[in-house]
Structure 1
Amino acid sequence: MQFLGAKLIREEDCEIKDENKMADGMHNVLEFDWINYSVFFAMLLSSTLIGIYFGCCGKKQTASEYLLGGKKMKVLPVALSLVASHISGTTLIGVPSEVYTDGSLYWLVVPTLIFVCLFVSYFFIPVYCNLNITSAYEYLELRFNRSIRSLASMFYLIHCFLFLPPMIYVPSLSLSQVTGINLHIITVGVTAICVFYTMIGGLKAVIWTDFLQTVITIAACLAIMIIGTLDIGGFTHVMKTASDGGRLDIFKMDPNPFQRSTFWTVTMGSLFSWTSGLASSQGSIQRFMAVPTVKDAQKVLLIYFFGISFMMSTSVYGGLLLYASYLGCDPVEQKIVTKADQMFPYFVLDRIGYVPALPGLFVAGVFSAALSSLSTALNTMAGTIYEDYIKIRGVSEEKAPLIMKILVVVIGILCVLMVFVVEKLGNILPLSYMIAGVTGAPLFAMFLFGMLVPIGNAKGALAASFSSMIFLGWIAIGSSMSKVNQMTKPIYEGIPSTCPISNETFVQNLQSNFTETPLPEEDDVFIMFKLSYMLYKAFGIVFSLIVGIIVCYLTGPTDPATVDPRLISPPMRIFLPAKIVKECENADKKLMEEQKFDIDCKS
């Protein structure tokens, strides 16, 4: 084994002679040169300087300024920040590995997002913006009571504490693989930088660092895909190889919800999961509230759709590129890497690492995606704890920024400690969906119940959330113990594990040799434990709404005439008394005129 510049050269194809050379799942590592390190550290330095600028050179920070940027942010940076908060290392590394092992069904997230964005735009954004609230969970207090608000905040904090460690772990693993630096040293160092600029700069720093990091992520993805495609023989070759291997079969119309990935499990799972992330997450709602008007918030959502569609499509194509590159020479089987989640970093080193600065750009791109999600979560979690648990105790407004800065530091430390747990777990994409389902579904159920069910009461909302958490927790634990939701497509079937693959006969025979590996059918595995990980949140939300409505009727439904129409989604106001709705619409129109007048005066 030797290195020629930045390109990894094999002495003997895929044969591993010395297992002692393996480090963190790879049999050797690439030594970053000064160009790669410069690219990576330039990203970290730029993010830090942005935080310092807004923390030290901007206006005096208040709670509103720290959490909402004074509600005067521009549409484009806020939209790209929203994109960045939903694109993490899980997307850039987890999705390609998912496509590599299970096909490109995950691309169906893109058309599903059309319906997600339309639904959120007309059912949720008008409610949040017209109420002019700081915390998303303030809505639940207005709709139900203080206890429901506190419970929802707790669910959100639990969700973030469980969801953040994978975000930190994935890019740290990538950098560790290409430099040989200890994983935990990287985790602590980079998280400390993110905590620093998030702590001192507030939402403005988060949004503008997100803007910068999104540009870096897009540049890294485009460079890798273009160079990788050209090196392997072109786009047509990649797509033909993927098609022959069954990786382009997105119309797998099997309605069985216990199949790991089908057209229906991906579309329905994505519909509920992405709607939940946009409609009930404090991070998303905070961005909708950071722009001046409802129309601006809807523009943010439109740009968000195109940004997410591009990043998702690029990540899915990355998986197809992996498959075409390693057909007949699976690095996992050859023990070059220990699991599929390490495939994409290995691909960058092995196949296109000879390009100057590209490994550094790749690592910077993965870290950019991760840091943007992490900084968003740190800011919103600190704001949620302050607004929902500390502010009510009579703390003065002047102390708010300091308190939230301390909270950011504490949260960052806890997240780093939880990385030690995440590295012992399995593939990150199923893991992420499992966490999102168990902790996110109860939270989203409360908002859906409040906005779409005018007769809903606090007891119904409480029952909906707890029933969802118990139901999904039971399924998730059972699924993990039963080891279902594993890979369903073989990398190859009946083809010898030799590489590199240069014999066209392999590709020609792939179709006839390709078979689908069925899900486990052991009699001792309960059927619900075989539920596709994509459907966790969908099943949990539907189940919770049914339970909530039943409890609502049993305990006495709320009289629609007593409900403030502003707390109900506009399309659902047809179930309220017409006179009250008319008064509400006039009030909303007056508010929009006042907002427009205020913007014109400031401009």
Structure 2
Amino acid sequence: VTGLDIWASLLSTGAICTFYTTIGGMKAVIWTDVFQVFVMLSGFLAVIIRGLLLVGGPARALAIAANGSRVNFSDFNPDPRSRYTFWTFLLGGTLVWLSMYGVNQAQVQRYVACKSEREARIALLVNQVGLFCIVSSAVACGLVMFVLYKDCDPLLAGHISAPDQYMPYLVLDIFQTSPGVPGLFLACAYSGTLSTASTSINAMAAVTVEDLVKPRLPTLSPQRLTLVSKGLSLFYGTACITVAALASLLGGGVLQGSFTVMGVIGGPLLGAFMLGMFVPACNTAGVFGGLGAGLALSLWVAVGGSLYPAPAAIAGVLPTSGAHCPLYNSTTNHTLLLGPPRHPDLEPARRPPIVGDFYAISYLYYGALGTLSTVLVGVLLSYVTG
């Protein structure tokens, strides 16, 4: 959409992120995150303000979005196959965020870096304020996008080829006469990517040094440990670039993909910590058995859901229209499933029975499924093995 080659973007982002994380460590990650959050908010605000001016103000935007069912606070459908309802956010979303802020190494190491527990709590509170601003801004951008393209979906019209390109397309469209603003949005997107990637790289290097290197090589000097940590940052950064290159070849949206990975990995991990904190009788066999079972089950469902995406009617995917697109030869609404592309050989009639229900559950429940299965299997194995 922007004209920037995806491989050049991927390699440059990975190289820059790996470089400053390797050289600067935790301090570099924290200070760049502070700067990047302001860049991200600036990009969001520019899109929101310009978009609202084009659609006629916040009141009109909300009215159109509500008329298109994009603003719905009363969806209490208990069906776990429906992607976004009150219950999926309350139950599934809560456990996903709890795993991120409760047991994720990238977050926990920041709590530990604070001088006291009180400072850690204040830092977490400030983080929640910032997270609220970022998520609210993203939601506002989504509403503006729907209002602007409610009669001509760029994906249906062929202007873009993937759901992840909606936002860049919107920016280039509404800021055609404003040089520099598309670059601000590009900086906004890069800031979010660099912030997340650098935090993960630094966290993986730190936990490897503390839990694997130090216990086995206790005689290493602090200088040597620093070099080892930087080497690990370089290694993990290179690994991230490789994984990102492979991920770019897959279909589906970034949001669903990231929450799927967080749920599959973080859900069982949260269950293991819950066993350790709330089940005194739990033993090593129970923890590892439960962790393995939770990971296997959540991964099984995630892979199945990717291979057999739920039908749009079951998932609750809302329709979009290409009726007023100049090059779109149809005046009827179409429903798009914004997820992994369907396998051409998997016809509905030939689908296994398990596909209709088990594989169709919302991706926000993957973490909850992993957590619950880890706890249940862990408790059972602990009592069986004594």
Shared fold, TM over 0.5: yes
Aligned match for 2:271, one of 437, 442, 445: 445
| Structure 1 Cα separation of the partners of residues 359 and 335 of structure 2 | 24
Q: State the partner residue of 1:203.
A: 26
Structure 2: stretches of 5+ with no match in the other structure: 338-346
Q: CA deviation at 1:521?
A: 8.0
1:437–1:404 CA distance, 2 compared to 1 (3 A): same
**1:537 maps to 2:376:** no
Shift in alpha-carbon separation, 1:521–1:452, aligned structure 2, 3 A: farther
Q: How far apart are residue 528 of structure 1 and its match?
A: 0.9
Structure 2 counterparts to residues 500-579 of structure 1, below 5 A: 524-526=352-354, 527-556=357-386
2:309 paired residue number: 483
Specify the SS of the correspondent of 1:333. Answer: helix
Deviation at 1:415, TM superposition (A): 1.4
Q: Who is 2:340 aligned against? A: none
8 A Cα contact 1:328 1:499, kept in partner: no
**Preserved contact between residue 485 and residue 533 of structure 1 (Cα < 8 Å):** no
Which residue number in structure 1 is paired with residue 344 of structure 2? Answer: none
CA contact (8 A) 2:29 2:195 kept: yes
Q: Residue 304 of structure 1 corresponds to which residue in structure 2?
A: 127
3-state SS of the aligned residue for 2:76? Answer: coil
The aligned runs of 1:318-357 (5 Å cut-off) are 318-357=141-180
Query: Partner of 2:343 in structure 1?
Result: none
Question: Could you say if the C-alpha distance between residues 401 and 335 of structure 1 is closer, same or farther in structure 2, counting changes exceeding 3 Å?
Answer: same
Q: What is the CA–CA distance in structure 2 between the aligned matches of 1:524 and 1:355, rounded to whole Å? A: 52
SS in 1 for 2:294: helix
The residue aligned with 2:323 is 496
Which of 221, 227, 231 is the equivalent residue of 1:396? 221
Tell me how far 1:252 sits from its aligned partner: 0.8
Q: Secondary structure at the match of 2:317?
A: coil
Question: Are residues 1:238 and 2:61 paired?
Answer: yes
How many residue pairs are counted as aligned between the two chains? 367
State the shift of 1:418 in Å: 1.9
> In the TM superposition, what is the alpha-carbon distance from 1:455 to its structure 2 partner?
2.2
Measured in 1, the distance between the counterparts of 2:276 and 2:76 equals 34
Q: CA deviation at 1:364?
A: 0.6
Is the contact between residue 266 and residue 534 of structure 1 (CA under 8 Å) also seen in structure 2?
A: yes
Residue 253 of structure 2 aligns with which residue? 427
Q: Deviations over 1:491-514 (max 9, x none)?
A: 446x734369xxxxx9xxx9xx99
TM-score of the pair, normalised by structure 1: 0.58
Tell me what 2:41 maps to: 218
Q: Give 1:318's aligned amino acid.
A: C
| 1:457-468 equivalent positions in 2, closer than 5 A | 457-468=283-294
2:299 partner SS? helix
Moved more, 227-236 or 336-345: 227-236
Q: How does 1:103-182 map to 2 (within 5 A)?
A: 177-178=1-2, 180-182=3-5
- In structure 2, how many angstroms separate the alpha carbons of the residues matched to 1:485 and 1:388? 44
> CA separation of 1:253/1:185 partners in 2, compared to 1, >3 Å: closer, same or farther?
same
What is the DSSP-based 3-state SS (H/G/I as helix, E as strand, rest coil) of the residue aligned with 2:157?
A: coil
Question: What SS does the aligned partner of 1:332 have?
Answer: helix
Separation in 2, partners of 1:514, 1:470: 36
How many angstroms apart in 1 are the aligned matches of 2:336 and 2:145? 19
How far does the alpha carbon of each residue in 1:519-554 deviate from its partner, in whole angstroms, 9 at most, with x for none?
Answer: x98663412111111100011101211111111111
Evaluate the alpha carbon distance shift between residue 263 and residue 521 of structure 1 in structure 2; reply closer, same or farther with a 3 A threshold. Answer: farther
- What's the % identity of the aligned pairs? 32
User: Per-residue CA shift, 1:243-297, capped at 9, x if unaligned?
Assistant: 1101011321011112222110122111000000011111101110111111111
CA RMSD of aligned residues (A): 2.4
Whole-angstrom distance in 2 between the partners of 1:469 and 1:515: 33
Distance 2:215 2:153 in 1: 57
Supply the AA of the counterpart residue of 1:319.
G
Q: Aligned AA for 1:454?
A: P
Q: Are the equivalent residues in 1 in contact too, given 2:51–2:144 (CA < 8 A)?
A: yes
Q: 3-state DSSP class of the match of 2:376?
A: helix
Tell me, yes or no, if the aligned pair for 1:482 and 1:525 is still in contact at 8 Å: no
The question of whether the paired residues in 1 share the 8 Å contact of 2:320 and 2:336 is answered with: no
Distance in structure 1 (CA, Å) of the matches to 2:311 and 2:153: 21
Distance in 1, matches of 2:128 and 2:6, equals 34
Question: Partners of 1:288 and 1:238 in 2: how far apart?
Answer: 40
Q: Secondary structure in 1 aligned to 2:154?
A: coil
Structure 1: runs of 5+ lacking an equivalent: 1-176, 501-505, 557-603
